[in-house]
């Protein structure tokens, strides 16, 4: 068996697994493309036939809570890339390497240009906190926003949240840098009142990890070994830039006021002090916010 050859089951798994890595609407295909390529490279460089995936999941469109149940049993799903939660880290096998370098923690805001309330003149975190914001009912960032004192209007899906923003049910709808532009490009024609705010960004430390069923520690070891090999030889950063450099440039973080809130879902083992694992913008957050540098 050569170094770059997958088993048929592993190849099939990757294709189907990634169909469920993110919602299939509003430009999420780009995230799936990244995770697909990352996973393929991880398995291609780690020759371990005995630690190949054995389950072929059909997980497209299922909720995060359902994925947790499936990962716990290991019957239909053996690994998945999702935002961390304490229960997940306790009951599954977390591979604590942020697969998107924490990029999705930098949130830009979709707004309704016809809403008389605006974030264009926001100068402090308290002012931003005073504006109702939309967020997913099962999203990790929702917990962080509520803990930080935001008024959060929850939706069950991205489509629901976009419709509510159209109806001015809230003022801001935060999306990660790696999500917002593709999603906006996909929905702009149908929702002409919406636009991307150009002045503000909110940072929430928000790693996405690979989680592996507790029944497959061998598979977890293989995935972690492949990721660390890629980090060591630079191919992880190369892949990251390939997929997200345009979004980072388009976000123009150097021209935004960046505010920071804590993520109460992060455990003590979160690798915040390892600078090789995180994206850091070219400019630090404003001095008057709640400081939480991702690299401390």
pLDDT of 201 over the 50 cut:
yes
**Hey, what are 30's tokens?**
């780009």
Q: Tell me, what's the pLDDT at 97?
A: 98
Q: Is it true that domain 103-206+252-296 has CATH number 3.30.70.100?
A: no
119: confidence class by pLDDT, cuts 50, 70, 90 = confident
Q: Tell me, what's the pLDDT at 63?
A: 81
Q: Which residues contact 233 (CB under 8 A, 6 or more apart)?
A: none
Q: What is the pTM of this model?
A: 0.80
Render pLDDT for 229-267 as a digit per residue (tens, 0 to 9).
999 999 999 999 999 999 999 999 999 999 999 999 999
pLDDT of 147 over the 70 cut:
yes
Q: Is it true that domain 8-101+208-233 has CATH number 3.40.190?
A: yes
Are 8-101+208-233 and 103-206+252-296 the same fold in CATH? yes
Render pLDDT for 74-115 as a digit per residue (tens, 0 to 9).
988 999 999 999 999 999 999 999 999 999 999 999 999 998
Q: Tell me, what's the pLDDT at 64?
A: 82
Q: What percentage of the chain reaches a pLDDT higher than 90?
A: 70
Q: Tell me, what's the pLDDT at 258?
A: 95
pLDDT of 3 over the 50 cut:
no
Domain residue ranges in the chain: 8-101+208-233, 103-206+252-296
pLDDT of 28 over the 90 cut:
no
CA-based nearest residue to 196, from 182, 210, 211, 208: 182
Dist CA 218 CA 215 (whole Å): 9
Dist CA 212 CA 215 (whole Å): 8
Q: Which helix (H) or strand (E) holds 136?
A: strand 133-136
pLDDT of 121 over the 90 cut:
no
CA 260, 127, 122, 264: dihedral to nearest 10 degrees?
20
The angle subtended at Cα 148 by Cα 142 and Cα 149, nearest 5°, is 95
Q: Which residues contact 126 (CB under 8 A, 6 or more apart)?
A: none
3-state secondary structure of 230: helix
Residue 272's φ and ψ, nearest 5 degrees, are -65, -25
> Do 143 and 265 meet the contact criterion of CB atoms below 8 Å apart?
yes
**C-alpha neighbours within 13 Å on the C-beta side of residue 287:** 0
> Do 155 and 137 meet the contact criterion of CB atoms below 8 Å apart?
yes
CA-based nearest residue to 83, from 96, 69, 66: 96
- Which is it for strands 208-212 and 79-83: parallel, antiparallel or unpaired? antiparallel
């Amino acid at each position: 068996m050569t170094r770059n050859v997958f088993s048929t089951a592993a190849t099939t798994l990757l294709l189907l697994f990634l169909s469920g890595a993110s919602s299939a609407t509003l430009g999420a295909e780009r995230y799936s493309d990244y995770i697909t390529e990352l996973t393929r490279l991880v398995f291609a460089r780690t020759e371990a036939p005995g630690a190949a995936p054995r389950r072929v999941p059909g997980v497209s469109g299922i909720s995060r809570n359902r994925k947790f149940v499936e990962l716990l049993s290991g019957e239909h799903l053996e690994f998945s890339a999702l935002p961390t939660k304490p229960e997940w880290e306790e009951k599954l096998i977390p591979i604590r390497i942020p697969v998107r370098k924490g990029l999705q923690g930098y949130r830009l805001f979709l707004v309704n240009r016809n809403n008389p309330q605006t974030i264009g003149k926001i100068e402090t975190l308290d002012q931003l906190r005073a504006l109702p914001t939309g967020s997913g009912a099962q999203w990790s960032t929702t917990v962080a926003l509520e803990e930080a004192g935001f008024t959060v209007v929850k939706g069950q899906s991205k489509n629901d949240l976009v419709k509510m923003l159209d109806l001015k049910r809230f003022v801001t709808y935060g999306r990660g840098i790696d999500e917002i532009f593709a999603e906006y490009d996909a929905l702009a024609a149908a929702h002409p009142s919406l636009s991307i705010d150009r002045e503000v960004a909110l940072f929430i430390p928000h790693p996405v990890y690979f989680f592996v069923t507790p029944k497959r520690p061998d598979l977890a070891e293989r995935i972690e070994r492949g990721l660390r090999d890629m980090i060591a030889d630079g191919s992880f950063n190369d892949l990251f830039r390939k997929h997200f450099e345009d979004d980072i440039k388009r976000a123009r973080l150097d021209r935004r006021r960046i505010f920071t809130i804590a993520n109460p879902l992060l455990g003590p083992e979160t690798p915040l002090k390892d600078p090789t694992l995180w994206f850091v913008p070219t400019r630090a957050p404003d001095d008057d916010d709640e400081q939480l540098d991702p690299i401390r």
